[in-house]
Structure formats: structure tokens, C-alpha cells
Amino acid sequence: MSSERRYDPKAVEPKWQAVWERERTWEVSNDEGGGAQSYYVAEMLPYPSGEPHMGHLKNYAVGDAVAHFQRRIGRRVLHPIGYDAFGLPAENHAIKSGEHPRDSTAQSIAAFHREFRSWGVSFDWSRELATHEPTYYRWTQWIFLKLYERGLAYRAEAAVNWCPKDATVLANEQVIDGRCERCGTPVEARQLEQWFFRITDYADRLLDDLETVEWPQHVVAMQRNWIGRSEGAEVTFTSPELGVDYPVFTTRPDTLFGATFFVMAPEHPDVMRLAEGTEHEEEVRAYVNHALTESHEDRGDAEREKTGVPLGRTVVNPVNGERITMWVADYVLMEYGTGAIMAVPGHDQRDFEFATKFGLPIRRVIEGGEELPYTGDGPLVNSDPRFDGIPNREALERIVDWLDDQGRGHRSINYRLRDWLLSRQRYWGCPIPIVHCDRCGLVPVPEEQLPVMLPEIRDYTPKGRSPLAAAEEWLNVACPSCGGAARRETDTMDTFVDSSWYFLRYCDARNHDAAWDPAVLARWMPVHQYIGGVEHAILHLMYARFFVKALTDMGLLDVQEPFLRLFTQGMITRDGAKMSKSKGNVISPVGYVERYGADTARCYILFIGPPDQDADWSDEGVEGVHRFLARLWRLGTDISEQRDAPGPALGPLDPPEGDDLELMRKAHWAIDKVTNDMAGRFAFNTAIAAVMELVNECYRRRDAVAPATLRFATATAASLIFPFAPHCGAEVYEALTGERVWEQPWPDADPALLERDTVELVVQVNGKLRDRVQAPASASREELETLARTPRLAAHVDGRELVKVVVVPGRLVNFVVR
């Protein structure tokens, strides 16, 4: 009768969303927060552009499952949401449409907000923020000033990547294959005054403290590699023609006597100056221009054929006074060391390939190996009588000491990490709170005058200078220091600045007098569980870590690392391909939520595979998950209507046996499985599969068990599915118990019901079933084999040669015979 009724998420989901909204169920107050009971879970905040996509659904489905689980094991959970609202897409849209970025951003935020609510995500909405709001960026500017005061923000001329189409500076990471990440235009090099954060001051701590966080190994490795710490020496070579010193960083000063040529990166500012007036000038110019359009990845590829051009100049090797030729070659990167290297072809693979190709001298200076290049250790040869015969590692120290004495070199540590270039010549970003005064120089805007509001302008089109320069009334101000005529800084900040501290603001989002109250932060920080895409493994995470360390050093905070645990979710693909607008294979969550409900969409996206792996979307899979939730709902509805047999929620009164015992065991097995999957590696897919098994078992035994047993098992399924399908879980649980599932503690598995005394063992001969025996659950492999040698087995193996016995404990024993 009642099973004819349909599971209708359109009725169930809004009902519970209204309850949570009305009662502000997921809000936590700062007064009660803190101590061991607090738990902070945050997903990386979304960039509001258009509407949320499947990646967002997965991100928040993961985060919400964690939040619900932690609440029910007794934690006070902070689970906030915000929007990373400044940035290029809104501005580019404004250029095309004339629509103010604030308006298109507001529409997007409204769409995200609406969808997040329709997914039933348990955010603390009272802390919702957007980084483009003056109430937020006021404090972004305040942090900038704090960093400036401490010498961690500075202005310097630098060669920058310039996108001629977007007319803006790009960070190195925004240059893909020599082209602008956004528009694909080949990137040019330009010298400009820019703002930087001195993140390199923190290189060692950023590296060392990776030991203290629980992050995926590949993310830690990417961060280490990005910091790129190596120990060695800086050695000065001199150009006699120009009288200029060229320091190089080398990890192998022991091979200095084998340096037979010298190579500069194409970006090295002196390359053209050196080539000028030589016969190679034109060739060098053409080579440099071409090299700049190539990606660093390609250039760093060891397999690539080496290319280069001579500069027509020489430098002097400080250890032996030899004049060696200078070259420009794209395998040398400006970002590494000093942008120039001494080439030691006898003991370095790349230098060897280069020397071979261009017929340059190759000299052995370390004994060992049959052939050159030899990169191992050994005594020095062909170097200098003072060093020859000495093991190279020892000679290395002596050579550096000698260079140091001569003032020609010193010990040095090199990092691949560069300072963070934060200036953007764009409109839609946080204004930099600095005034330029001809008399006083750079003058910080006084704190009480913050925020420096983003001015209104009519034309967003980039013109090679910041669009803010067009806002004349805004631009011209009195100098805060001398009162004379001065101009505001017109660059805006990289949006990575906004997202480097939002997790701090979440803790105290409604504080009007300060960015945060340190006492409040102490209650919540660090973030216990951070969740986001692996594409942020380097920049965002590195920048946020730098901010937290710098703020802690200033006494504004008291944590060394922002994110204790990190989870990086895999992508959702379609037919094996990444979803993208250009491929036309994008599927958005809206349609699925509309058709199947949010619970199905959320459950499915966690069910398709381990959430840290990529997974392929399948419509059949969605149907399957929907059927499962419908079955659970129907079972709950059926049972709740059997008012003639009301039973206690928490289980039968008599010790169960038979079918009752089996169903109870299944329920406790599911509790145990889901608990372990939630607490450990976030194996949500197997957790959901366990609840599916439990529901199947409920159907299988529903007519054979006591009503109370069925009620208990079904309520358990509802309770366990709640973190993944909160509406359906709440609905079924309430129908069966009259209680709100989120107010109930997470269920405990009864160890007595997890232990099985005996298991049924399948006895096979050559993979064919021949017998079954009951065996103690704790039996050893040997005991299982002995038990499996039953009379029936004998008929199949006697007289044949036993090749081997395969024992799968708890399952089977297979006798392989010939």
C-alpha cells in the first residue's frame, strides 16, 4: 500500500532547509568556541563566476560530510563560507558588456548562495563574507600596511611577465607555455616598478614546517620543490671587457676547475648589453625573443636538444684565471640562482650535451666513472696542485674557503622561491593603501583612513597603466605626511592576497573594530581540515602559510601553520575528459539537483570513487544512488506507519537471535565501517556502499525480524547516511524515532556484535565448490586448511597431486590439484 508512494526530494529537502534556516542550526558563537571540543573545517572559498559547477558540488559535499560527522562525535564545528570576489573574469566581462564588475559579481554570489542553500550545506551563514566588500578589504589593506611596516612589502623594479592583450603583469605561474593563462597571448618581458611581498625571508620556515602538517605527500613535495632549497656557493666571474662581475650559484664548487664556458639565461638583463657591437648581436636578439615565448617547463626539460648562441665575450674563472666564452642558452633560467651558470661539461649532463653540440672543451676534474660526464664523487684531478688528489667533497670546502679569502665567493643557499609580485594594473582588485609624494616618497595611508575605496570609473579597458589612474578625483590626495599634493598608488593587489587570510576573518567575521580579536582566533585556529583542489597546491597554500607566519611574528596571531590537515579532491570528468566550456561537455549541478534532489547529487558525487581521485560522471550511476535513497525513504515510511508495533528506537529488548541477530550485526558492521571511513582517509564511497548494504539487508529480512529490530536497523541507516544525504537522513530518522538526527550522537558499534564466532568456509578444488564447513572466526591459516580437509573433499583430491593450497581467511580454502 504505502510503498506505492514516491520519494519526493522536492518535498523533503525544502522542509529541512527551512528548519535549519529558521533555527540557525549550524551557527556557532565565538563565546562558546574553543578548546579541544572545537573543530574548524573549511573548503577553499569559491571564485563567484557564473554558477557553481560539479567541482564545487564535490568540494562542499566532502566538507559537509566532515562537518556533520565532527558535530555528531561531539565537536563544536565552525564551517563557514565566503567568496573570492575580486579578479579578472568579472573585469573582462565588464570590458565586454559594460556591466560593472560589482554587479556581475553580486549576481554570481547570489547564484552560489542560492545553490549552496538548495544543496543543504551546513554553513554558518552568519559569517558569510566576500573579499570585494569594503568591510573585508579594509582589513586586507590593514594587513598590507602591517607587512609594509615590517619591511615585508616593498617596491622594486623588476622584469615582469606582461600580457599585451590584458595589459597587465602576470605572475610566473600565470604564464603557461609562454602564453597568458587567461587569453593565450604570448607573454613579453618588461621592466616595471612593482610591489612585492618578501616571502623569500620565510623560505626556510615554509620548508621546515611542512614536517608539522598532515598533508598529502604529493602536495608537500610540490611545495618543497617550489621552495627549491639547495646548498652551495656563490662564485664571482668577471667580464674583463666590461669590467662587470657575474656571480653564479653552484652546488658544485669542487668542479670549478672544469668550468670551460659560461651561460646566461635569455632574460638576464645584461645579455643584450654584452652582445651589443659584437658580430653575434642580431643572432642573440632573435634567440632571446624566441626563448621568452617558451615555457619554463619546456626549457627545463632535460630531454630537449640544447640550443644557444655565443655572446662574443669572455669571463675570467676566478680559480685559475682562464678566459672562457660566454653564451646565452634557454636551458638556464633567470629564476634559478643568478640567471647565469658556470658550465662544467665533464661533470654535468646538460653542460655536456651543450658542449658536445657546439664543440666546446670538456675537461675531467674528478676521478671516477668510465666516461664523461661523471657526476659521482672522487679525488680531484687537473685542478691545482693544492687540491688535486683530495676527495672532492673535502676539496669543495677548501675551494670555497679559498674563494672567501680572495673575496671571490662565499657559501650560499639558493632557493627557487622568488618574492611574491602582487601588483596588478587592473581595476577589479583591492587598492594598495599607499600614497606617492614627491617630497616624502612612499607614504602609507593612516589606518584610520582605511579602507581606501575602489573608485568608480567608466572605462575598464586596460591601457598599460592601471585603470585607477583615470579616476582623477580619487587619484589626487593630500600627502598624509606633509599635506602637500600627492597621488594614490594605482595598482591593485593580486587576488591571492585576498584569499591568503579569509580563513582568519571567518573566525571573527562581524568584528567592525578590528580584522579579528586574537582571543577569538585562538579558539578556532588553525583550520583542522582544509579541503580544495590540487591546483592550489602551490600558490594559495604557500601564500596563506606565509601570511600566517608573518602575522604570528607580529604578535597578531599565534599559530605557525594555517591548515593542519589538507584534503585535495579529484576532478569530476565526463567520458574520461576534463569538463570545459570549449569541449561542450560541462554538466552543471542545477539540473541534477532539480531532477533528483540535492541528496542524490551529493551522495552520487561521493559514491563514484575515492574522493581524492578523479572520477567519471555517469547518469546511470545517479539513477542507482537515487533508487537507493528512495528505498531507504520508503522503508522508513512503511515502518513508521506500522503504529501497531511501535518499538524503542535503539533496539530490541531481548537478546537477538536468528534473522534479528544477523540484521543487528549488519547494522553494527555498517556503523563500524562508516565511522572508520569518516575518521580515516575519507573513503566516503565505501561508507555509502556500507549503508546501501545495510538497506538491502533490511529489505531482505524485513518480514523475518521483530519490528523493533527493523526499526533500529533502518534508523541506523538514516543516521549513517545523514552526513552525505542530510535531508533524506533527517526525514527517515524523524519518521522512525521522532528525533532530529543531527542532535543525536554518532552511533557506536557494539564490539560484541562485530565479532563473529564462526564463519562459513567454502572448500574448493581447482576453484570449484566442493563443500562448506563452519570454522572459528579466529582460526589460523593452518587450522583452516585442516578443517577444510573434509570427507567430501577427499573424494576429489585423493590419488591426485596436490600443487598448492590457497587459503583466504574468513572465506575459502582452494586445493589446486593435477
Distance between CA 284 and CA 270 in Å, rounded? 12
The number of residues making up the chain comes to: 818
What whole-number distance in Å separates Cα of residue 438 and Cα of residue 441? 6
Q: Identify the residue among 62, 145, 324, 437 touching Zn ion (CB under 5 A).
A: 437
Is residue 629 a contact point for Zn ion (CB under 5 A)?
Answer: no
Q: Nearer to Zn ion by C-beta: 478 or 645? A: 478
Q: Which is nearer to Zn ion, 180 or 779 (CB)?
A: 180
The Cα 110–Cα 506 span in angstroms is 19
- Which C-beta is closer to Zn ion: that of 308 or that of 462? 462
190: contact with Zn ion by CB under 5 A: no
Closest approach of Cβ 394 to Zn ion, in Å? 52
Helices and strands counted in the chain (H then E): 27, 32
Among the residue ranges 249-257, 270-278, 283-291, 434-442, the one whose residues contact Zn ion (CB under 5 A): 434-442
Q: How far is CA 736 from CA 68, 638, 670, 706, 711, in A?
A: 20, 10, 18, 15, 7
Among the residue ranges 348-356, 429-437, 687-695, 728-736, the one whose residues contact Zn ion (CB under 5 A): 429-437
Q: Does 413 bind Zn ion (CB under 5 A)?
A: no
Nearer to Zn ion, 166 or 348 (CB): 166
Closest approach of Zn ion to the CB of residue 188, in Å = 11
Q: Which is nearer to Zn ion, 390 or 442 (CB)?
A: 442
Binding map of Zn ion across residues 15-54, x = CB under 5 A, - = no contact: ----------------------------------------
Q: Can you tell me which of 11, 110, 156, 183 binds Zn ion, judged by CB under 5 A?
A: 183
Closest approach of Cβ 426 to Zn ion, in Å?
11
Beta strand spans in 252-380 (E): 261-264, 309-316, 323-328, 340-343
- Cβ proximity to Zn ion: between 443 and 784 the closer is 443
| Cell digits of residue 566 | 589538507
- Measured between alpha carbons, how far is 419 from 799 in angstroms, rounded to an integer? 79
Report the C-alpha gap between 296 and 625 in whole angstroms.
Answer: 45
Q: What is the DSSP string of 594-610?
A: HHH-HHHHHHHHHHSS-
Q: Cα 382 to the chain's mean position, in Å?
A: 49
Residue (117 or 182) nearer to Zn ion, CB: 182
Choose between 482 and 704: whose C-beta lies nearer to Zn ion. Answer: 482
CB of 290 to Zn ion, least distance (A): 20
What's the min distance (Å) between Cβ of 420 and Zn ion?
20
Closer residue to Zn ion, CB minimum distance, 181 or 785? 181
Q: Which of 111, 192, 440, 689 binds Zn ion (CB under 5 A)?
A: 440
Interface with Zn ion, residue 608, by CB under 5 A:
no
Instruction: Name which position in 75, 117, 150, 182 contacts Zn ion (CB under 5 A).
Output: 182
Three-class SS of residue 224? helix
We find the least distance from the C-beta atom of residue 155 to Zn ion, in angstroms, to be 16
Asked if 128 contacts 82 with a C-beta cutoff of 8 angstroms, the reply is: yes
340 or 479: whose CB is closer to Zn ion? 479
How far is 44 from 462, CA to CA, in rounded Å?
29
Q: How many residues bind Zn ion (CB under 5 A)?
A: 13
Query: What's the closest the beta carbon of residue 243 comes to Zn ion, in angstroms?
Result: 39
The answer to whether residue 661 forms part of the interface with Zn ion (CB under 5 A) is: no
Binding of residue 163 to Zn ion (CB under 5 A): yes
In this chain, which stretch among 17-25, 165-173, 240-248, 756-764 interacts with Zn ion, using CB under 5 A? 165-173
Residue 180 CB, nearest approach to Zn ion (Å) = 3
Q: Return the number of the residue (376 or 484) whose C-beta is nearest Zn ion.
A: 484
Q: Which DSSP symbol is given to 710?
A: H
Output 182 or 285, the one with its CB closest to Zn ion. Answer: 182
Q: Is the CB of 155 or the CB of 350 nearer to Zn ion?
A: 155
**Angle at the Cα of 569 from the Cα atoms of 565 and 570, rounded to 5 degrees:** 150
CB of 435 to Zn ion, least distance (A): 8
Q: Does 481 bind Zn ion (CB under 5 A)?
A: yes
DSSP H helical ranges for 532-597 = 539-553, 589-596
254 binds Zn ion (CB under 5 A): no
Residue 632 sits in the site that holds Zn ion (CB under 5 A): no
Using the contact rule CB under 5 A, the part of the chain among 25-33, 153-161, 475-483, 669-677 near Zn ion is 475-483
**Which of residues 41, 85, 160, 180 is near Zn ion by CB under 5 A?**
180
Element (H, E) at 217: helix 217-227
Among 43, 84, 124, 166, which residue interacts with Zn ion (rule: CB under 5 A)?
166
Q: Which of 44, 468, 479, 773 binds Zn ion (CB under 5 A)?
A: 479
Q: Can residue 205 be called a binding residue for Zn ion (CB under 5 A)?
A: no
CA distances from 537 to 44, 218, 420, 505 (A): 11, 9, 16, 22
Closest approach of Cβ 491 to Zn ion, in Å?
A: 17
Specify the 3-state DSSP secondary structure of 815: strand
Our finding on whether 88 is near Zn ion (CB under 5 A) is no
Cell reading at 139: 582589513
Distance CA 100, CA 19 (A): 36
Residue 561 near residue 213, CB atoms below 8 Å: yes
Least gap, CB of 740 to Zn ion (angstroms): 52
Task: Write down the least CB distance from residue 161 to Zn ion, Å.
Answer: 10
Strand blocks (E) in 381-539: 409-414, 420-421, 423-424, 434-437, 441-444, 476-478, 485-488, 492-493, 527-533
**Listed ranges 185-193, 238-246, 630-638, 702-710: which one lies at the site for Zn ion (CB under 5 A):** 185-193
Distances (CA, A) of 360 to 184, 327, 345, 352, 593: 38, 11, 9, 9, 67
Nearer to Zn ion, 156 or 183 (CB): 183
CA distance 312 to 326: 7
Dist. CA 239–CA 276, nearest whole Å: 14
Which region, judged by CB under 5 A, interacts with Zn ion, from 162-170, 508-516, 633-641, 780-788? Answer: 162-170
User: Judged by CB under 5 A, which stretch of 88-96, 396-404, 430-438, 800-808 contacts Zn ion?
Assistant: 430-438
Q: Where are the alpha helices (DSSP H) in 293-421?
A: 296-300, 349-358, 392-406
Nearer to Zn ion, 163 or 344 (CB): 163
**Which region, judged by CB under 5 A, interacts with Zn ion, from 275-283, 308-316, 407-415, 474-482?**
474-482
What residues between 482 and 541 interact with Zn ion by CB under 5 A? 482
Shortest distance, position 483 Cβ to Zn ion, whole Å:
7
Q: What are the CA-CA distances from residue 622 to residues 242, 428, 679 (Å)? A: 71, 39, 26
Neighbours of 24 (CB within 10 A): 11
742 to each of 400, 596, 631, how far by Cα in Å?
66, 23, 21
Q: How far is the CB of 482 from Zn ion (least distance, A)?
A: 3
Spatial CA neighbour of 748 closest among 816, 693, 667:
667
**Nearest residue (CB) to Zn ion, 186 versus 368:** 186
Q: Which is nearer to Zn ion, 183 or 679 (CB)?
A: 183
Decide if residue 357 touches Zn ion (CB under 5 A). Answer: no
**Within a 10 A sphere around the Cβ of 801, how many other Cβ atoms?**
8
Q: Give the span between the Cα atoms of 639 and 724, in whole angstroms.
A: 22
- Which residue in 6, 114, 165, 290 binds Zn ion (CB under 5 A)? 165
Between the alpha carbon of residue 332 and those of residues 218, 227, 252, 321, the distances in Å are: 26, 18, 16, 24
Closer residue to Zn ion in complex, CB, 59/492? 492
Contacts to Zn ion by CB under 5 A = 163, 165-166, 180, 182-183, 185, 437, 439-440, 479, 481-482
